[in-house]
Amino acid sequence: MPVGAAGYAGVARLSYGPIVPDNGFVLEMTREEFEELVAEALDRIPPELTRLMDNVAVFVEDEPPADDPELLGLYEGTPLTERGEWYAGVLPDRITIYRGPTLRMCESREDVVTETEITVVHEIAHHFGIDDARLHALGYG
């Protein structure tokens, strides 16, 4: 389900909701609550950057592909830096944020908020052509 679109720049909303108890293994958070965190992370992207995003959609899925069960996010598409005259009439790039692994790795709701924001920024950076090495150097590993 799409939670945002390129060019969408709303006012940052901080509606993290009630404190979610830690069940000892995995934090509990509904799909809707997690989608809201992703939308809020998108809202915090500076408008100067969201205006530059082109032909990209953001989705939330519960689980990543089975071959990479700890994957938090995935960018699929052609980065802006690699597009040329040939780039026309193509499907939108796709950014997917995965709820399950994020909840399994975080110890608190605040950790989920932070990790979700980092993951969203990381995947948007790939849309702008920034590779993993540079992202790790910037603290978005």
Beta bridge partners of 94: 57, 76
Q: What is the pLDDT of residue 20?
A: 45
Lowest mean pLDDT among 7-11, 16-20, 79-83, 122-126: 7-11
In which band, very low, low, confident or very high, does the pLDDT at 25 lie, cut at 50, 70 and 90? low
Question: How far is Cα of residue 92 from the mean position of the Cα atoms in its chain?
Answer: 15
Segment 42-94, tens digit of pLDDT: 999 999 999 999 999 999 999 999 999 999 999 999 999 999 999 899 999 99
Q: Report which residue type is found at 43.
A: D
Residue pointed to by tokens 């780039």 = 87
Between CA 104 and CA 107 the distance in angstroms is 8
Residue pair 128/79 in contact (Cβ under 8 Å)? The answer is yes
Segment 93-121, tens digit of pLDDT: 999 999 999 999 999 999 999 999 999 99
> With 80 as the cut, is the pLDDT of residue 124 above it?
yes
In which band, very low, low, confident or very high, does the pLDDT at 3 lie, cut at 50, 70 and 90? very low
Within a 10 A sphere around the Cβ of 37, how many other Cβ atoms? 26
The reply to whether the predicted model has a pTM over 0.85 is no
